[in-house]
Amino acid sequence: MTEYGDGTRSAHAGLPPAVPGEPFLPGPVFAAPYHLDPAVGPAASPNGYGRPDNQTRRLLEAAIGSLEGGSTLAFASGQAAVTAVLLSTLRPGDTVVLPADGYYPVRGFATSTLAELGVTAVFAPTAGPAPDYTGVRLVLLETPANPGLDVCDVAALAARARAAGALLAVDNTAATPLGQRPLDLGADIALASGTKALTGHSDLLLGYVATRSPELLASLTSWRATTGSIPGAFDAWLAHRSLFTLDLRLARQSANAAAVVAALAERPDVTGLRWPGRPGDPAFEVASRQMRRIPGVVGFDLGSASRVARFLAASRLVAAATSFGGVHTSADRREQWGDDTAPGFVRLSCGIEDAADLVADITAALDAAA
């Protein structure tokens, strides 16, 4: 079987067989109920009711699954995906290990909802050391971590979890399936917010969960059907359309990040520079060995919230916005959302602008902000 490259796989992911007169990607199917066979009922068709059954969503799931290397379920958002994993696998008395430096709403969910359900949460830094997994039901990793960009060795931690009888899930949001494939590295579950780099156009909310375990897939499918946390048909269609350019977008974003990091590294007024693709970065060694490409997200500190505001006001190309991975360069001061970062910490998400234009704009904005 031919092993196609990333660009080819992205461009053809999830497309149905070619039928003369039909489009490459069929338009979104908007349906609540479908016609049923009067005699056989729902057994005659995979489509019975729109909440569990939608062919537009199934095409998207096939597309993402082909990139992640596992059976995939789409959810209404990344938060819906991660909470589905947590609530469908954990029971009262269980212990879960979560990243201490990962997406902060997940930590908040653990200390509120999971704690109220009798689940014990242990928090560990992404860069380690990892705690003892004895007696743990689920280990959730986020690598690269958001927003600090630390990286952990997924294969090593998957082996430790497996030896302890724990499940291992990896939040693959920052990397995307073209950056790393957690299931190939031994994870039981890969999950992500598709809102960000996966779809990359800042125009939809999406999450997904991928697994190679029939038992986990059945449990998650039942959970989603019961809770109804599905993406709409148009969002699913938009997401699938966006996947076709994933390889191109990621390549430009990563190249832009490398150029921006090189420029920022020369400035004494920028501290705490982080990008896993930079030699000397604490995450560089593991990222170079584990990841197929480095995302276009950069972290740095400008010293104060007021200087960040001046920088963003002076920039013509960098939008002040939360989220990341879009085609337009954006920056987010994470402390304003309650994330436990320094007041001047910036998470910069490089878009697909020309690198020279982007570097010139950021340099001029930093000069003006000084």
| Phi/psi of residue 71, nearest 5 degrees | -65, 135
Question: Do 170 and 252 fall into the same domain?
Answer: no
Question: Do 190 and 260 fall into the same domain?
Answer: no
CA atoms within 13 A on the CB side of 176: 29
Question: Do 171 and 261 fall into the same domain?
Answer: no
Residues 6+ apart with CB under 8 A from 161: 133, 136, 139, 167, 168
Q: Give the structural domain span for 360.
A: 246-369
Per-residue pLDDT at 118 exceeds 90:
yes
Return the number of other C-beta atoms located less than 10 Å from residue 362's C-beta.
26
Question: Do 112 and 100 fall into the same domain?
Answer: yes
Domain stop point among 243, 264, 295: 243
* Residue 227: per-residue pLDDT: 96
| Phi/psi of residue 182, nearest 5 degrees | -55, -35
Residue 128 placed within a domain: yes
Which residue(s) pair with 74 in the sheet? 208
For residue 309, give the 3-state DSSP assignment. helix
Per-residue pLDDT reduced to its tens digit, 331-364 = 999 999 988 899 999 999 999 999 999 999 999 9
Question: Do 230 and 251 fall into the same domain?
Answer: no
Question: Do 353 and 255 fall into the same domain?
Answer: yes
Question: Do 291 and 268 fall into the same domain?
Answer: yes
Helix ranges, 95-207 (H): 104-109, 115-116, 154-164
| The pair of three-digit structure tokens given for residue 311, joined into one six-digit string | 């920088």
What CATH number should be reported for the domain holding residue 333? 3.90.1150.10
Residues 6+ apart with CB under 8 A from 314: 364, 365, 368, 369
Question: Do 134 and 260 fall into the same domain?
Answer: no
Per-residue exposure over 147-162, b if at least 16 CB sit within 10 Å of its own CB, e if not: bbbbbbbbeebbebbe
Question: Do 214 and 254 fall into the same domain?
Answer: no
Burial of 228 (0-12, 13-18, 19+ CB in 10 A): exposed
Residue 133 placed within a domain: yes
Alpha carbon 299 to its chain's center: 17
**CB of 190 closer than 8 Å to CB of 209:** yes
Per-residue pLDDT reduced to its tens digit, 215-229 = 999 999 999 999 999
Residue 32 placed within a domain: yes
Domain stop point among 214, 243, 272: 243
Domain stop point among 243, 268, 286: 243
Per-residue pLDDT at 154 exceeds 60:
yes
* Residue 72: per-residue pLDDT: 98
Helix ranges, the chain (H): 6-12, 55-68, 78-89, 104-109, 115-116, 154-164, 214-227, 233-243, 246-264, 284-290, 305-314, 355-369
Question: Do 148 and 163 fall into the same domain?
Answer: yes
Per-residue exposure over 183-221, b if at least 16 CB sit within 10 Å of its own CB, e if not: bebbbbbbbbbbbbbbbbebebbbbbbbbbeeebbebbe
Return the number of other C-beta atoms located less than 10 Å from residue 44's C-beta.
13
Residue 300 placed within a domain: yes
Question: Do 129 and 65 fall into the same domain?
Answer: yes
* Residue 9: per-residue pLDDT: 97
Question: Do 202 and 256 fall into the same domain?
Answer: no
Mean of pLDDT over the chain: 97
Total domains in the chain come to 2
What CATH number should be reported for the domain holding residue 158? 3.40.640.10
DSSP H or E segment with residue 168: strand 167-171
Residue 321 placed within a domain: yes
Instruction: Indicate the DSSP class of residue 15.
Output: P
pLDDT band at 157 (very low <50, low <70, confident <90, very high): very high
Residue 1 placed within a domain: no
Q: Considering the chain, what percentage of its residues have pLDDT values greater than 70?
A: 99
Cis peptide before 129 (omega within 30 of 0): yes
What's the rounded mean pLDDT across residues 261-276? 98
